A and B are shown apart, each in its own frame.
Chain A
Amino acid sequence: MTKRIMALVAALALTTAACKDATSIPDLNNVSSSLLATGLNRASVQLLATGLLNADRGNAGETYIVFPETMARDLYRIDNAENRWITQMIGQAADPSAFTGGSLWAGYYVAIKSANNIIDNIKTATDLSPAEQAATVGLAQTFKALQYWHVVEMRDSLGLPIAVDNPISAPPAAFVCKSDGLAYISSLLDSAYTSLQAAGATAFPFALPAGFTSNGDYSTPAAFALWNRGIKGKVEFYRGMDHTHPNVASFATSVAALTQALGTLGASTLTNSVYYTYSTSPGERESPFAGDAAVHLNPSAGDSLQAGDLRGSKILHTCTGLCSGSGVTTTYDMAYAVAADPTNLTRPFAILKNDEMILLRAQAEIEAGQLAAATADVNFVRTNEGGLPALATFASATAGRAAVMYEKRYSLLFEGAQRFVDLRAYGFLNAAHLKKETAADIFQSTLPIPQAEINGRGGAQPTVTCP
């Protein structure tokens, strides 16, 4: 009996001891989000600011270039095993539940949340001066505005949710129409500009990636504020071009903002911009076309190049690899997307270059009836970047649009959604202006609202109407 009692006592003692033993284990693999709750400081602001810029860079990945540039007839990604790169861009409508129609959406809102984390919590960073806080907010708001702009680029008149800075338990923010969205983006850029101005001569309180100083210097709040005006000018131009609710004042606003951003035009600063830079160092990201041998040039981009255009150096008159499939074929390649070229692993990509700003200003001037000014701007890019003879003053807005479209195509080839957005804004996405690429080509003008977004709202396609 004694033995039994001893054994029981031993068992009980062990039980009690084990019970007091802590089972708690922290997250072993990541920085915890409790970082935000405990208040920011200089080090954590650096971490969050780089995180925002990295999220933004991630959003400008391969699909951001390939999808719109395919729809803009500049690019083919020929992959017989995954033909949706063709069939759902220049064929039938993109599938909202697949990587085609479902992409280029969630990442923008993660980056917006990333920006909001900074904007909402910056006051807790008591080791930053008010000017440093303002500089930080100005940068965060500018990149936040850029995300919303990308949403409009890809979804156009389908609208977008704006007021998304809510607790996770809140219902999804309501969709607003495109023109309300553009108005919001424009005002957000203004608010960012004001914050950057408020920073005065104070430096950003964190180190910026190399792409802020690689072509031009955008690393001070003042210089960055001017680049912010460039984005403002871009957004205002498309506000003016909004078919259902054109904002007539926008063209003048656009010209003014772009003029402020550009200052005196310089032939040597045409490619100045904040750039996304890439690296093959551990943990870094490679350039969007790194290692992808399936990307080729759409022959229309090769065929339309004017003789003597210096920008033709980007175009290769042979196609390597598989150059036919999914109903399309080409004989051209594009230097930026040759997988075997190691420079393409780390090729930097611009966000908004001076040449684009000049051409945007030309576009706004054309719509405002200032054809001479527009011609001068177009010619500045045409002669300096293309090495082509200057054009005579445009006889009409139509002629001006065609001219600016040519310059934009070759100055910004394979750099983003610019041509796609222009074709749509000018009403050129149809058989009257473009070749039908495949039998099923519907001249798709937007990606659909992703199925995940629709499902997250109870399954109904959001409908938006502007007041």
Chain B
Amino acid sequence: MAFVAPNAYAQRRITGHVVAATGEPINAAHIQVQGTTYTAISSDDGSFTTLVPDGSQVLQVRRIGYKRTDFILTATATDAKIEMTKDVLELEQMVVTGTTTSVSSVNSANAVTTVSGAELTEVQSPTIENALQGKIPGAVISTNSGAPGGGAQIQLRGTTSINGSSSPLYVVDGVLVSNAAIGTGLNSITSAGGGISGSQDQMVNRIADINPEDIESIDVLKGASAGAIYGSKASNGVIVITTKRGSSGKPKISVSQSVGQFQMSHELGLRCFTSAAQALNWWDNVVGAGAGAPLPYPYSPVCNNFEKQFYGGNSPSYETNINITGGTPQTSYVIGGTVHRDNAIQLASYYQRQSLMANLSQLIGDHLTVRFNNNFVHSLTDRGISGNDNSPIVSPGDIFSGTPTWVPLASKPYISNPFLSDGANPFADATQITNPEEVFRYIGSINATWSAYSSQRQSLDFTFIGGVDSYSDNSNLYAPPSNFVEQASGQPGLVVTNRTSVTNANLNLSGQHKYINDSFTATTTFGLRQETRGFSQILNQGKQLPPGITDVNFGVNQSLTEQQQLIHDFGYFAQEELLIKDRLLLTGAINEDRSSVNGNDSKFYSYPKFSASYRIPVLPNFINDFKVRAAWGQAGNQPPYGFKYTSLPIGTYSTQLGATPSATAGNPNIVPETSTETEGGFDMQMFHSRAAFSVTVFRKNITNLVLAAALAPSTGFTQEFVNGGSMTNTGVEYSLELTPVQNKNFSWVSRTTFANVASHVTALSVPCFNGGSFFSVQFGAPYVCQGLSATTVQVDNGRNAAGARIVQDLESAPKYTVGISNEFKFGSMRVFALIDWRQGGYAVDLTQLYYDPVQLLADTAASIARLNSFGAGNGVYLQPAGFVKFRELSVSYAVPKSFMQSMNINSASNLRLEVSGRNLWTWTKYGGYDPEVSNFSNQNIGRFQDVTPYPPSRSFFFTIKADF
């Protein structure tokens, strides 16, 4: 960092206006006098004033949605009228490179995907992860359920860990926010796993609380080369969310109202029985009751389509948004509010969210800018029961797989299911068993920037960011004693209260020095960062409740568990960015951090990065801009909380406490995983920026993999946490953006992205193992082995001549993913369509396995064939999981001003009507409900196991949007 003594340059003040080609003023444009630190922001009427040095100068003007404009200001001019043209392909965006730094995408050395708020809210979506599907090349988004309210997981550029955190780091306005998935105690009913609550509780990843409508933009840093500055949390990539900022001027109000509906997107098709003889034959011979055994429930010629009856949905869903922004040159604000309600397809399941945001920016004096970002969310959801279960049979899909369709399960008064030991009737359960999960969440930050020093050539700013993400997640699972399943349990009546609180707090102090001259800009940032992450959950379970009582105190049989986590992190960083002649950008940075979760909690681990990009000056005529870029960086993935400890878990036996050795051995020397990423590529703009083509190749090398190394259980340990392995992910990402037609009446913008990732486990210090949670190698289980991909699925498939099982290794991850979007505008009409295509990969379809032995699917011949093949040792339940989804479609119409005037709606400046749909159609060979759903998608590997999930749905919405 070099300080250069300021010289006393002669300078003058000029005023200017920024306007669009149509003559309308453009606000919030960023004007910089080239080669100086002088900048200005245009106000609501497009005007600005700035100091400029004497002589002829170049004003660089940037604005999201417009192409960068260089305006030549003559030596004598005191006024500038600057016209900007629309950037249809959005080739000019500011992308983040660090906590306080950003760079124009024209110069960026990384392939950072930026998704604007408008792209995000193109089509009404339940939660933010759904809104990102198909929009980030290199991201695979899977869901653990089709239930409303979230539960989706994003993986960037492949699996980067086996046992470490699987989630990218989410940063909202500088606050490192929690994406925890919290169990609500559903396991107390389903027994899918052990204990009161477990990872199969159909959990929501809490990033779902973020309201897509509040978002200005999302920058996706896909790996270490872009995210190194986030140190030991950035290995899985970083998703930087910037919420809306206020713009000065008169208050502007935008409102929108959507109404729509969810529909089951794919039915399995249940069997109808055509005669009493057929039903009896089924019972006696297929189920195996034996010759002459009577049916447990008399046959009737009615065929109940349980899928339609139970997943029929029908209630409308809605969303209301309001957004107000305005301010003065010193103060700007934006206030937003959303009310969202999804009445989803499964009987009695719903999701609702109310959110309020208020962001305020205040200039205090000449040197201090303070921004307050406040986001308050309340969400309430009841996702019902679905997914895996054991005893009792209580998951609706599981029940339907064992109940013939002549049984009137849906009819009231509900009957005890005669085909199940516990009598579970999902229609009764859906109305009687409730599990409301309620989240109150506040995400807020103060961002204060002090311009300590500023001259024509130099500036020094200090930024303080203090942020907090704090929420409570409370749920009350209640099953009344009158419920059939409860009656059969021996302890009728169940309540589980979940009380969880999560608090993340971070402080960030950084300095930024800029030196600008005619040939280069040098930006130096340095700072330190401190984070605390706390998690505490108490689950109380009460069984055998009196009727009408929902208080855990009154359970005859009570139990309680508590889970706590506390993590302290601390780090430093420094970064130097050198932009030479606006063509060559060189960046070097280092981050050093330590964490209480590491074996050695006082040791600092280093994460450096270097990158370079160069815009080639001499180009053929048809190419406007050609940039080559390369980046290298390292980031880490902290060992999960508690991996350093070997514990003696406590149990109670006959009123005494007993400590039994854990079957899992901790590791006091555990270190973070290290991801080293090299990325290179080029970005090309052609035909007057009517076309843009980018290619990125990357290679991630992850070492010190934290593994739950399986041990021979005879050692007394089933697994041990070790740093023992490495893997590489290599891949290519292409994107092609085109404006084939662009005229006054018709425009067509087309975007296609392609991405692939090949994973390869290059070293493993432990024997190959079936990792993560899985059901059986006979169905398909995750398998980690040197030489194979980390996302390998191992399956028994056939037998050799000696009769031994043949074990086959296949790939669960897609071979490549393609996103194709097209936008057409003709006159006042706009049509947007997004196709999401995932080629290749396999998934385990246990849903079919549930149905096949009892032949209750309509296609009984197929069931019999599959089951016979499975019986012969073939892995028929591991099925191709590729798909093409018609992900989003929206058709909107801008109501002409003349019509609005004739209807006396003069107050609105814009009025749009829109019809939109999500997940409209899926083409796939997969036999289950949906290949994107996995019972275990909260883990890194094994995100391919489908067990009678809550079926995913399609949705349709009608929306009115108005600006005032």
Seen from chain A, the residues whose Cβ lies within 8 Å of a Cβ on chain B are 3-4, 7-8, 11, 14-15, 18-19, 21-25, 27-33, 35, 46-55, 57-58, 78-83, 92, 95, 97-98, 105-106, 109-114, 116-117, 160-161, 164, 166, 168, 170, 172-173, 206-211, 277, 279-286, 290-294, 320-329, 339-342, 344-345, 438, 440, 450-453, 455-459
Q: Give me 8 other A-B pairs in contact (C-beta within 8 A), A28-B564, A79-B421 excluded.
A: A48-B659, A81-B389, A113-B716, A211-B654, A280-B556, A293-B488, A340-B489, A455-B767
In the assembled complex, the Cα of A285 lies from the Cα of B655 at a distance in Å of 11
Q: A168-B720, A172-B714, A456-B711 are in contact. Are A27 and B530 (CB under 8 A)?
A: no
B713 and A109 form a contact (CB under 8 A) = yes
In the assembled complex, the Cα of A286 lies from the Cα of B559 at a distance in Å of 12
B391 and A80 form a contact (CB under 8 A) = no
A32 and B645 form a contact (CB under 8 A) = yes
Chain B residue with Cβ nearest A214 = B654
A322 and B419 form a contact (CB under 8 A) = yes
Interface centre among B648, B665, B767 (most CB of A within 10 A): B648
B768 and A459 form a contact (CB under 8 A) = yes
B155 CB–A CB distance under 8 Å? no
Q: How far is the CB of A24 from chain B (nearest CB, A)?
A: 5
- Chain B residue numbers with a CB within 8 Å of A116 are 716
Q: A28-B564, A53-B653, A322-B421 are in contact. Are A456 and B715 (CB under 8 A)?
A: yes
Q: How far is the CB of A298 from chain B (nearest CB, A)?
A: 13
Q: A23-B596, A31-B650, A98-B778 are in contact. Are A47 and B657 (CB under 8 A)?
A: yes
Among B490, B556, B559, contact of A340 (Cβ-Cβ < 8 Å): B490
A50 and B656 form a contact (CB under 8 A) = yes
Q: A52-B660, A294-B391 are in contact. Are A109 and B714 (CB under 8 A)?
A: yes
- Chain B residue numbers with a CB within 8 Å of A172 are 711-712, 714-715
Q: A14-B528, A19-B570, A321-B422 are in contact. Are A50 and B658 (CB under 8 A)?
A: yes
B797 CB–A CB distance under 8 Å? no
- Chain A residue numbers with a CB within 8 Å of B543 are 280
B304 CB–A CB distance under 8 Å? no
In the assembled complex, the Cα of A292 lies from the Cα of B389 at a distance in Å of 13
In the assembled complex, the Cα of A32 lies from the Cα of B850 at a distance in Å of 42
Seen from chain B, the residues whose Cβ lies within 8 Å of a Cβ on chain A are 3, 283, 287-290, 293, 296, 389-393, 398, 401-402, 419-423, 452-453, 460, 462, 487-491, 509, 511, 526-528, 530, 543-544, 556-560, 562-570, 572, 594-596, 601-602, 642, 645-663, 665, 710-718, 720, 767-770, 775-778, 781, 850, 853-854, 871
Q: How far is the CB of B625 from chain A (nearest CB, A)?
A: 37
A80 and B647 form a contact (CB under 8 A) = no
- Chain A residue numbers with a CB within 8 Å of B487 are 340
A458 and B767 form a contact (CB under 8 A) = yes
A282 and B558 form a contact (CB under 8 A) = yes
Q: How far is the CB of A10 from chain B (nearest CB, A)?
A: 9
A453 and B713 form a contact (CB under 8 A) = yes
A455 and B770 form a contact (CB under 8 A) = yes
Q: How far is the CB of B287 from chain A (nearest CB, A)?
A: 5
In the assembled complex, the Cα of A109 lies from the Cα of B719 at a distance in Å of 13
- Chain B residue numbers with a CB within 8 Å of A31 are 647-650, 659
- Chain A residue numbers with a CB within 8 Å of B558 are 281-282
B712 and A456 form a contact (CB under 8 A) = yes
A81 and B661 form a contact (CB under 8 A) = no
Q: A280-B556, A291-B491, A341-B490 are in contact. Are A452 and B651 (CB under 8 A)?
A: no
Among B389, B490, B656, B711, contact of A207 (Cβ-Cβ < 8 Å): B656
Q: A28-B564, A33-B646 are in contact. Are A110 and B393 (CB under 8 A)?
A: no
B528 and A15 form a contact (CB under 8 A) = yes
Chain A residue with Cβ nearest B513 = A4
- Chain A residue numbers with a CB within 8 Å of B659 are 31, 35, 47-48, 50-51
A28 and B565 form a contact (CB under 8 A) = yes
- Chain A residue numbers with a CB within 8 Å of B564 are 28-29
B653 and A324 form a contact (CB under 8 A) = no
Among B652, B665, B767, B769, contact of A168 (Cβ-Cβ < 8 Å): B665
- Chain A residue numbers with a CB within 8 Å of B716 are 109-110, 112-113, 116, 164
B289 and A80 form a contact (CB under 8 A) = no
A279 and B654 form a contact (CB under 8 A) = yes
- Chain A residue numbers with a CB within 8 Å of B559 are 282-284
In the assembled complex, the Cα of A166 lies from the Cα of B391 at a distance in Å of 37
Q: How far is the CB of B195 from chain A (nearest CB, A)?
A: 12
- Chain A residue numbers with a CB within 8 Å of B572 are 15
Q: A280-B543, A456-B713 are in contact. Are A117 and B661 (CB under 8 A)?
A: yes
- Chain B residue numbers with a CB within 8 Å of A282 are 558-560, 652
- Chain A residue numbers with a CB within 8 Å of B642 are 27, 29
In the assembled complex, the Cα of A412 lies from the Cα of B522 at a distance in Å of 84
Q: How far is the CB of B641 from chain A (nearest CB, A)?
A: 9
A339 and B488 form a contact (CB under 8 A) = yes
B717 and A33 form a contact (CB under 8 A) = no
Chain A residue with Cβ nearest B783 = A455
Among B422, B715, B850, contact of A109 (Cβ-Cβ < 8 Å): B715
Q: How far is the CB of B888 from chain A (nearest CB, A)?
A: 36
In the assembled complex, the Cα of A415 lies from the Cα of B826 at a distance in Å of 78
Q: A14-B528, A80-B853, A325-B288 are in contact. Are A29 and B778 (CB under 8 A)?
A: no
B421 and A321 form a contact (CB under 8 A) = yes
B777 and A97 form a contact (CB under 8 A) = yes
- Chain B residue numbers with a CB within 8 Å of A112 are 716
A25 and B596 form a contact (CB under 8 A) = yes
Q: How far is the CB of B941 from chain A (nearest CB, A)?
A: 16
B290 and A324 form a contact (CB under 8 A) = yes
The 10 closest A-B pairs by CB, nearest first: A456-B712, A50-B658, A113-B716, A30-B647, A321-B421, A209-B654, A324-B289, A106-B713, A280-B557, A283-B652
Q: A282-B559, A339-B488, A455-B770 are in contact. Are A30 and B652 (CB under 8 A)?
A: no
Chain A residue with Cβ nearest B775 = A98
B566 and A25 form a contact (CB under 8 A) = yes
Chain A residue with Cβ nearest B535 = A28
B452 and A3 form a contact (CB under 8 A) = yes
Q: How far is the CB of A96 from chain B (nearest CB, A)?
A: 9
In the assembled complex, the Cα of A400 lies from the Cα of B776 at a distance in Å of 43
- Chain B residue numbers with a CB within 8 Å of A161 are 712, 714
In the assembled complex, the Cα of A323 lies from the Cα of B423 at a distance in Å of 12
Chain B residue with Cβ nearest A208 = B654
In the assembled complex, the Cα of A173 lies from the Cα of B715 at a distance in Å of 7
- Chain A residue numbers with a CB within 8 Å of B655 are 281
- Chain A residue numbers with a CB within 8 Å of B420 are 80, 321-322
In the assembled complex, the Cα of A293 lies from the Cα of B654 at a distance in Å of 26
In the assembled complex, the Cα of A458 lies from the Cα of B786 at a distance in Å of 13
In the assembled complex, the Cα of A268 lies from the Cα of B235 at a distance in Å of 68
A324 and B715 form a contact (CB under 8 A) = no
In the assembled complex, the Cα of A446 lies from the Cα of B752 at a distance in Å of 57
- Chain A residue numbers with a CB within 8 Å of B402 are 80-81, 322, 325
B491 and A11 form a contact (CB under 8 A) = no
Interface centre among A28, A79, A80 (most CB of B within 10 A): A80
- Chain A residue numbers with a CB within 8 Å of B556 are 280
- Chain A residue numbers with a CB within 8 Å of B658 are 47-55
Chain B residue with Cβ nearest A160 = B714
In the assembled complex, the Cα of A172 lies from the Cα of B567 at a distance in Å of 35
In the assembled complex, the Cα of A110 lies from the Cα of B719 at a distance in Å of 12
- Chain A residue numbers with a CB within 8 Å of B768 are 455, 459
Among A23, A320, A339, contact of B489 (Cβ-Cβ < 8 Å): A339
- Chain A residue numbers with a CB within 8 Å of B288 are 324-329, 438
In the assembled complex, the Cα of A109 lies from the Cα of B655 at a distance in Å of 25
A81 and B710 form a contact (CB under 8 A) = no
- Chain B residue numbers with a CB within 8 Å of A452 are 710, 712-713, 718, 770
- Chain A residue numbers with a CB within 8 Å of B770 are 97, 451-452, 455
- Chain A residue numbers with a CB within 8 Å of B769 are 455
Q: How far is the CB of B58 from chain A (nearest CB, A)?
A: 29
Q: How far is the CB of B539 from chain A (nearest CB, A)?
A: 12
Q: How far is the CB of A462 from chain B (nearest CB, A)?
A: 10
A114 and B661 form a contact (CB under 8 A) = yes
In the assembled complex, the Cα of A149 lies from the Cα of B850 at a distance in Å of 36
Q: How far is the CB of A174 from chain B (nearest CB, A)?
A: 10
